[in-house]
C-alpha cells in the first residue's frame, strides 16, 4: 500500500516542481521585454533621418565636436564603461561633485560628477529624483548601474544615466522603468 501511495505522490511532486520552476523562469523573462528587431524599412528610414539631421546646423556642429579632442575624450570614456552598460553590472564610483546644475537653462536638471576607473562622468536627475541623493557628499564611494549613456557638445563629460545607485549596501536610488514604458 505504501508503495502505491508513494508511486502516486512522487509524480505529483515532480510535476508540481516543474510547474513552479517554469513559472519562475517565465516571471524572470517577462521582466525584460525582448527587443523587436527593426525591419529593413525602419532601418532605412532611421538612416535617412540621421543623414538629414547631420546636414542641419546642429548636426554639423555635433559632427565637428565629435572630431574635436573633447569629443574624442568623451568617446574614449564611453568605451571604458561600455561593457558595464551592456550588462547592467556594478560600477564602483567616487562622487567628486554634488552641485552640478545647467547654467543659463531653467530646466532644473541637477546632477553629480563621479569618477569611475580614473575618468569623470556626469549623472543628471530631475529635482524630485535628486532629492533622494541629498545625503551624498564629495568623496563618497557609491555603486552605480546604468543601461545607457549620452554625449553632448554642451557637456565636458559623458552623461551616464543613473538607473541604480547604492552606498554602503543601501539603495539610494532605483529608476522605475514601469512608469516610462521602457523609454
Please give the order of strands across the beta sheet that includes 170-174.
149-150, 158-160, 119-125, 110-116, 91-101, 141-145, 164-167, 170-174
Radius of gyration of the chain (CA): 23
Dump pLDDT digits (tens) for 50-78: 889 889 998 899 999 999 999 999 999 99
What is the per-residue pLDDT for 90?
93
**What 3-state class would DSSP assign to 148?**
coil
Distance CA 83, CA 29 (A): 21
Distance CA 26, CA 17 (A): 14
**What 3-state class would DSSP assign to 167?**
strand
What is the per-residue pLDDT for 92?
94
**In the predicted structure, residue 107 carries a pLDDT above the cut 70:** no
Q: Where are the domains of the chain?
A: 84-175
**In the predicted structure, residue 143 carries a pLDDT above the cut 50:** yes
What is the per-residue pLDDT for 21?
62
What architecture is domain 84-175? Beta Barrel (2.40)
What are the phi and psi torsion angles at 2 (to 5°)?
-65, -40
What is the per-residue pLDDT for 35?
62
Tell me the whole-structure pTM to 2 decimals: 0.68
Provide, rounded to the nearest whole percent, the portion of the chain with pLDDT above 70: 75
Amino acid at each position: 500500500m505504501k508503495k502505491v501511495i508513494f508511486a502516486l505522490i512522487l509524480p505529483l511532486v515532480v510535476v508540481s516542481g516543474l510547474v513552479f520552476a517554469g513559472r519562475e523562469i517565465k516571471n524572470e523573462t517577462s521582466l525584460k521585454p525582448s527587443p523587436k528587431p527593426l525591419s529593413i524599412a525602419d532601418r532605412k528610414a532611421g538612416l535617412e533621418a540621421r543623414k538629414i539631421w547631420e546636414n542641419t546646423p546642429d548636426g554639423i556642429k555635433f559632427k565637428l565636436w565629435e572630431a574635436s579632442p573633447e569629443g574624442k575624450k568623451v568617446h574614449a570614456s564611453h568605451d571604458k564603461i561600455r561593457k558595464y552598460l551592456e550588462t547592467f553590472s556594478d560600477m564602483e564610483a567616487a562622487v567628486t561633485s554634488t552641485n552640478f546644475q545647467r547654467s543659463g537653462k531653467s530646466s532644473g536638471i541637477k546632477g553629480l560628477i563621479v569618477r569611475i576607473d580614473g575618468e569623470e562622468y556626469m549623472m543628471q536627475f530631475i529635482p524630485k529624483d535628486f532629492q533622494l541623493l541629498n545625503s551624498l557628499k564629495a568623496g563618497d564611494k557609491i555603486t552605480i548601474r546604468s543601461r545607457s549613456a549620452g554625449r553632448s557638445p554642451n557637456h565636458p563629460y559623458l552623461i551616464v544615466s543613473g538607473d541604480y545607485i547604492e552606498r554602503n549596501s543601501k539603495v539610494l536610488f532605483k529608476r522605475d522603468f514601469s512608469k516610462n514604458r521602457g523609454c
